[in-house]
Structure 1
Amino acid sequence: MPHVRCLWVCGVFLMLCACTSLAQNERIVLEGSALDMPVVVTPTLVSPTPTPVQPSATPTLEPTPTNIPTPEPTPDPVTGYRIADLREQIYGEGSITIGDFWSSGASYTSYRISYPVDGLQLTGLIHIPNGEGPFPVIIANRGYIEPERYQSGMDSRAFADFMANRGYLVVAPDYRGYGGGDDAPNLFYTGYYVDVLHLIPLAQQLPMARDAKVGMWGHSRGASITIAALTITDQIAAAVVYAPAPADLAADYARRLDREGAVDPRTWPFPPEQDPAAYGRISPINYFDAVAAPVMLHHGTNDSVVDVSASVEIAEALRAAEQDVTLHIYEGSGHTLTGEEEQIYFARTLEFFQTYLGQ
């Protein structure tokens, strides 16, 4: 019955194909079958589900540094003219040369002098008392005079005559650009400060001078120079300040502008409203804590050149800085004291210098 056997074998084969759970190479024996042989069933291979690959994170881009130049600091327009700068300078290199005879008084003789200042050669007068010496020294700083009409001794001669006749060695500078001396810039009047500051140690070195701090006197612009010198050097023993301009340079600028309608740009290169702080750094009134000498002020109430309020303000600022200051006000007197007021002023000045310089 070949057809029956064939159908039976085919049925068994179909049953085997349905058994997908059998292991690979599993041996199946068909019992009771004429086909006594192993049958190898290869199971269907199911590929594993692939694990998805996570995308790599997008790298953070570091910003490329930009080379931004550091801004240059704004230069100080008053560098070299500040009170602090003037304190750092060295003064007094060289020596005074005593030149030709100039004039004589009752008890003194006057001579022309020349002396060096930062490469300049400046001039002035020296009034030497008769006698052996050594004599106490006073630097006499005259007020402003137009260069075209200036002559040595103008505005200081009366004071020098009075003091030299009483035994004081008086040295009166012409300042730069005057008396045949060399000229040079004078911004904010600091050139005049430097001219006077150099003269102090040079005068102290003179053989007929007393080896001690000097006295200093000044009238008008010379009084303002004296005030400035007091804030820069400690070599002043006593100072007489006669009708000074304001020690606040912004106020001095305004005074000159109001009085004359203009200012000289060679002295005032820019107005205070352009840089008020810069004006503060060059104004002596802001440095009165450094003053190391007693100060005597003289001023007339009828001064049409510099109002008496300038001396009042200076005196108040010196007192606020705990300085020794005396203010003498002369009712009805002008910019230059005359007559009885002048004699009173001279007497007070002499007593003041005798107290602090000796003689």
Structure 2
Amino acid sequence: MNKYLLSIVFAFCSSIVDASGLIPDDSVKHQSDCFSGKFSSYESWRGFIEQKNKAQGKSEKLIDKAMQSFDKRFSKTDFDFYRNELICSSFIYQVDGVDVFGYVIKPRNHTGNLPVLIYNRGGNGNFGSVVFASMMHNLFPIANEGFVVIGSQYRGTFSEQDNADEFGGKDVDDVVALRDFIGQIPGADPQRVGMFGASRGGMQTFLALKRMEEVKAIATIAGVSDLSKEIAHRPEMERVFKHRIPDYQHNKKAELEKRSTLNNLDDLSASVPILLLHGTDDERVQVEQSTLLAEALSRKQLPHKLVLYPGDNHFLSNNKEKANKEIVDWFKRYL
């Protein structure tokens, strides 16, 4: 395992918490406090980022620029707030005999049981994995609104088994397997479960939904609904599909179609409302991936809401707070 992977794994497993952890299940291993090791304080986290930039041989000017960007995106005030208000744990669980990394986040002080959101990340393999920074940016604000958030990194992430992630194949099992832990998390309500995903995670959300009747509502952010159109827009994605999707070379059309929501609308239930969020200037996943899906959902008379953010990008950088509010309001309404 290379130094990069070791660094990531250490970040997720650096400090083993009480043996019971957040999930009192003997099959769940290495439950670790997210706020430990490099992330035990804002100063140590920031220092780690600075040293990482120095180790890459960057000039002082580029290091200063990188740290200014870090300070703009992550403040000590926000870090300390979430550290005090949230409990966050990473863990390893097994699916099909394969070790898979997962994580769970929940409010520290709450009364009664809270609704649960399963989060499906984007990217593939290590690219797009949910590291501490992405938790801070994307998940902590949602959990802080009164949700238990649980997610999978998908098989092959933080592992030497790079080809284990099948981009909507057996890795969907890793999402479905999370259902076994929800009822065991103190303060989590297994009767109120939603699911949301970003980019590739939008595809993953619809695929998992087919097998998870307990999911009451879903949301996607810049989700992919037609993989063939995605290749036409970004031909470089074909390399990802060839590497990830089994039998892609000999069965391309069928493999793409079974992963594309637009080709599987009959699998959707009228009892599960769908929220679609997308920036109109998304260069990675074109906005039509959501607009065409919304049109198809309308024709099927399936409950949904489409929210477009004019001029915004793949990450909704200019409307992050508004998008988070849409997500929170959606799940509070339906869970």
Match for residue 347 of structure 1? Answer: 325
Match for residue 93 of structure 2? Answer: 115
Give deviations 1:35-66, integer Å, cap 9, x for gaps. Answer: xxxxxxxxxxxxxxxxxxxxxxxxxxxxxxxx
* TM norm structure 1: 0.64
Query: Where do 1:9-24 residues align within 5 Å?
Result: none
SS in 2 for 1:265: helix
**Structure 2: distance between partners of 1:102 and 1:180:** 19
Is 1:105–2:83 an aligned residue pair? yes
Is 1:285–2:217 an aligned residue pair? no
More helix as a share of residues: 2
Match for residue 305 of structure 2? Answer: 326
Is 1:233–2:212 an aligned residue pair? yes
Match for residue 209 of structure 1? Answer: 188
Deviation at 1:168, TM superposition (A): 0.7
**Structure 1: distance between partners of 2:127 and 2:206:** 26
CA contact (8 A) 1:139 1:200 kept: no
Query: Where do 1:1-359 residues align within 5 Å?
Result: 96-97=28-29, 99-103=31-35, 104-131=82-109, 132-144=111-123, 147=126, 150=129, 152-153=131-132, 155-179=134-158, 185-245=164-224, 247-256=225-234, 258-259=235-236, 262-269=239-246, 276-277=253-254, 279-292=256-269, 293-339=272-318, 341-357=319-335
Deviation at 1:188, TM superposition (A): 4.5
Aligned pair in 2 of structure 1 residues 180, 124: CA closer, same or farther (>3 Å)?
farther
SS in 2 for 1:216: strand
Counterpart amino acid of residue 306 in structure 2: L
Deviation at 1:332, TM superposition (A): 0.3
Aligned pair in 2 of structure 1 residues 305, 101: CA closer, same or farther (>3 Å)?
same
CA contact (8 A) 2:106 2:144 kept: no
Q: Which portions of structure 1, spanning 4 or more consecutive aligned residues, are displaced by more than 4 angstroms?
A: 93-98, 148-151, 180-184, 269-275
- Runs of 5+ unmatched residues, structure 1: 1-92
* TM norm structure 2: 0.68
Q: CA RMSD in A?
A: 2.9
**Structure 2: distance between partners of 1:164 and 1:323:** 28
Q: Higher mean Cα deviation, 97-106 or 289-298?
A: 97-106
Counterpart amino acid of residue 188 in structure 2: A
SS in 1 for 2:105: strand
Counterpart amino acid of residue 99 in structure 1: Q
SS in 1 for 2:220: strand
Match for residue 25 of structure 1? Answer: none
- Runs of 5+ unmatched residues, structure 2: 1-24, 36-81
Larger radius of gyration: 1
CA contact (8 A) 2:125 2:165 kept: no
SS in 1 for 2:244: coil
Deviation at 1:294, TM superposition (A): 0.6
Counterpart amino acid of residue 286 in structure 1: N
Aligned pair in 2 of structure 1 residues 120, 270: CA closer, same or farther (>3 Å)?
closer
Give deviations 1:5-51, integer Å, cap 9, x for gaps. Answer: xxxxxxxxxxxxxxxxxxxxxxxxxxxxxxxxxxxxxxxxxxxxxxx
Deviation at 1:106, TM superposition (A): 4.2
Deviation at 1:278, TM superposition (A): 5.7
Give deviations 1:215-237, integer Å, cap 9, x for gaps. Answer: 11111111221122223322211
**Structure 2: distance between partners of 1:180 and 1:97:** 16
CA contact (8 A) 1:221 1:244 kept: yes
